[in-house]
C-alpha cells in the first residue's frame, strides 16, 4: 500500500467505492476484496499527463504491483475515496506514483467506460467504472517515478502508444480504451 503526503496512514487507498450500473456510488469495500474473483464493480480513474508539445506520459507499472505488474499503461491509475471529488483523487495519487505535484493543474474529464479484466498472474479480477482524465501542460523534467509504483516512464505520441497495444500482454487491459477516449478529443492537441 502506498501513502501520500495528504494521507500518511494509507487509509484512503484501503477501500474502493462500489458503483451501480450507472457508475453511481453505493458503498465501499476493501480494495483487495473488491478485486477477488468474481470482482465487484467499483470506481476508478485513469489519468493521462500531457506535456506542452502534446506528448503523453506512459508508465510501466512496477512489477511488484498487486495486479497487472510490469505492464505499460496511462500515466496514473487509481481509485477515488468515498466522497472524494475526482480531481482531488487525481491530485492525491499523481504525486504518489510520479513524484509530481499537479495541484495547480486543471483536471479535465475525457470520458468514462466500464470494463472487466482478469489478471492471470495474480488471479485478481477488475470490474471497474473507469473515468479518464487529462492533466495538461506538465513539465517532463519534474516527473520523478516512485519506486514500487512505477518501473519506467516514456513520453510518447498517440501513434507510439497505439503501437505498444499491438502486444496486448505488454499493456494493461484498460489502456487501449483510454487511448480511444483521448482520440475523440482533437481539442487536446495530442502529438
**Percent of the chain whose pLDDT exceeds 90:** 82
Pairing mode, strands 107-118 and 76-78: unpaired
Q: Supply the mean pLDDT for the chain.
A: 91
Question: Is 34 a domain residue?
Answer: yes
pTM of the complete model: 0.89
Question: Is 3 a domain residue?
Answer: no
Question: Is 101 a domain residue?
Answer: yes
Integer Cα distance of 85 and 99 in angstroms = 21
Integer Cα distance of 155 and 100 in angstroms = 15
pLDDT one digit per residue (tens) for the chain, 191 residues:
343 333 343 433 589 999 999 999 999 999 989 999 999 999 999 999 999 999 999 999 999 888 898 999 999 999 999 999 999 999 999 999 999 999 999 999 999 999 999 988 888 899 999 999 999 999 999 999 999 999 999 999 999 999 999 999 999 999 999 999 999 988 887 88
Question: Is 122 a domain residue?
Answer: yes
Which of 77, 58, 74, 75 has the alpha carbon at shortest distance from 66? 77
Cell 479480477 found at: 125
The domain of 60 spans 11-186
Task: Considering only the C-alpha atoms of the chain, give the largest distance between any 2 of them, rounded to a whole number of Å.
Answer: 42
Which of 36, 34, 35, 30 has the alpha carbon at shortest distance from 15? 30
Question: Is 4 a domain residue?
Answer: no
The residues carrying an active-site annotation are 77, 128
Task: Kindly report the CATH number assigned to the domain that includes residue 150.
Answer: 3.90.79.10
Question: Is 22 a domain residue?
Answer: yes
DSSP state, residue 75: S
Alpha-helical runs (H) found in the chain? 31-35, 86-98, 158-164, 175-183
So what's the pLDDT on residue 121?
85
56, β-bridge pairs: 50, 156
| Domain tally, the chain | 1
Question: Is 59 a domain residue?
Answer: yes
Question: Is 29 a domain residue?
Answer: yes
Integer Cα distance of 129 and 44 in angstroms = 6
Amino acid at each position: 500500500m502506498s501513502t501520500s503526503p495528504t494521507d500518511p496512514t494509507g487509509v484512503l487507498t484501503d477501500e474502493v467505492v462500489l458503483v451501480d450500473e450507472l457508475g453511481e456510488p453505493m458503498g465501499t469495500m476493501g480494495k483487495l476484496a473488491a478485486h477477488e474473483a468474481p470482482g465487484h464493480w467499483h470506481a476508478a480513474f485513469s489519468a493521462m499527463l500531457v506535456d506542452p508539445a502534446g506528448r503523453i506520459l506512459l508508465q510501466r507499472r512496477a512489477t511488484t504491483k498487486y495486479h497487472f505488474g510490469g505492464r505499460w499503461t496511462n500515466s496514473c491509475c487509481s481509485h477515488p475515496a468515498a466522497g472524494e471529488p475526482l480531481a482531488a483523487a487525481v491530485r492525491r495519487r499523481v504525486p504518489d506514483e510520479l513524484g509530481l505535484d499537479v495541484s495547480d493543474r486543471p483536471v479535465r474529464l475525457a470520458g468514462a467506460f466500464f470494463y472487466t479484466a482478469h489478471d492471470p498472474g495474480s488471479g485478481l479480477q477488475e470490474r471497474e467504472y473507469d473515468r479518464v482524465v487529462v492533466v495538461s501542460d506538465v513539465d517532463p523534467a519534474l516527473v520523478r517515478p516512485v519506486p514500487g509504483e512505477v518501473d519506467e516512464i516514456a513520453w510518447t505520441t498517440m501513434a507510439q502508444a497505439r503501437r505498444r497495444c499491438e502486444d496486448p500482454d505488454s499493456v494493461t487491459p484498460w489502456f487501449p480504451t483510454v487511448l480511444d477516449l483521448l482520440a475523440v478529443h482533437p481539442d487536446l492537441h495530442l502529438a
